[in-house]
Amino acid sequence: MSVSATKSTLAAAPASRPRRRLHWALVLPLGWLLLVVFLAITADWIGLPDPAAQELILRRKPPSAEYLLGTDNLGRDMLSRIIYGARTSLIVGICAPFLGFLVGGAIGMSAGYFRGKIDLLAVGFIDVLLAFPALVLALTFTAYLGQSLFNVTLALGILSIPAAARVSRANTLAWANRDFVLAARTIGASNWRILTREILPNLLPPMFAFWLVAISVIIVAEGALSFLGLGIPAPQPSWGGMIADGREALDVAPHTALIPAAVMFATVLSLNFVGDIVRNMVDPRRSAL
């Protein structure tokens, strides 16, 4: 084959595109999160002991072949309680920021798009909520509404509204004056169509990245409420409640508090890692185009 033919063949061949590899820092935390979610969903079908069953004769047993993570102060199986506690933490951690993002996202989009008095009122509302200490406000909500899974989720969802509104408003301000938005206004598109068809799709990736980080914050907040005795009521297990129960036996049975604390730490750290990586992927200033 002649040199000219070889050159023409190479020129005609499509340029190979670099393959995107899964980020190495994403594999381990994502695997841990998938394991936690899988165990929380299948807890009723994998043959775990009753997390509320008490055997005082077996109290404070260290980890062994029979009890992989030991037993707590009332002889309840720690592995079973941690897995069922993961279900509680995930319900609160996912639903509370989702509620806050629905309300806060709508407020932030309206403020960033319409500006003027709407923006002034929205910013004032956000500043008022941020002026209260978050933990004190959550304690007030749960003390007034009562201790239940729904009330804790509602209280923490309300607390997530200001952060979601700020993220939504900042991103809406960045997109509201783009050429495609101005073009949609020129052809007579309604404000609702512009918000839902033009701006909202560009808001979802950064909001999703921030939502992952918000889940970790809510899990810690729920654990703090349970630790203080105003979270998920007994006998429903939660990681914060397990830590609170185990603090009384740290000197004789440290595993009763350290194991649930380690599980919560690993879950929160994994959510932060995944959230940061997703944020870097969707941030046009950091991603390679």
Over the stretch 78-98, which tens digit does the pLDDT of each residue have? 889 999 989 888 898 899 999
DSSP 251-284: TT-THHHHHHHHHHHHHHHHHHHHHHHHHHHH-T
**Integer Cα distance of 245 and 178 in angstroms:** 54
Residue 60 domain flag = no
Selected residue with higher pLDDT from 166 and 234 = 166
* pLDDT at residue 21 tops 60: no
Q: What is the pTM of this model?
A: 0.80
Q: What share of the chain is helix, strand, coil (3-state, %, to 5)?
A: 70, 0, 25
Task: Find the distance separating the first CA and the last CA of the chain, reported in whole Å.
Answer: 37
Residue 202 domain flag = yes
Contact 259, 78 (CB under 8 A): yes
Over the stretch 112-144, which tens digit does the pLDDT of each residue have? 888 888 888 888 888 888 887 777 888 888 878
Residue 251 domain flag = yes
Residue 62 domain flag = no
Q: Tell me the average pLDDT across 185-211.
A: 85
Residue 183 domain flag = yes
Over the stretch 152-169, which tens digit does the pLDDT of each residue have? 888 888 888 888 898 888
Tokens for 92, please give them: 């609160």
Residue 166 domain flag = yes
Residue 15 pLDDT grade (very low, low, confident, very high; cuts 50, 70, 90)? very low
Q: Which among 157, 146, 171, 131 has a CA at the least distance from the CA of 231?
A: 146
Over the stretch 30-79, which tens digit does the pLDDT of each residue have? 889 999 999 999 988 888 888 888 888 888 888 888 888 888 888 888 88
Count up the domains in the chain and report the number.
1
Helix, strand or coil, per DSSP, at residue 28: helix
Residue 90 domain boundaries: 69-287
> How many alpha carbons fall within 13 Å on the CB side of residue 229?
1
Instruction: Report the pLDDT value the prediction gives residue 244, as an integer from 0 to 100.
Output: 83
Q: Tell me the average pLDDT across 255-273.
A: 89
CATH number at residue 185: 1.10.3720.10
Helix, strand or coil, per DSSP, at residue 134: helix
Residue 137 domain flag = yes
Measured in degrees and rounded to the nearest 5, phi and psi for residue 77 equal: -65, 120
Residue 263 pLDDT grade (very low, low, confident, very high; cuts 50, 70, 90)? very high
Residue 176 domain flag = yes
Instruction: Report the pLDDT value the prediction gives residue 18, as an integer from 0 to 100.
Output: 43
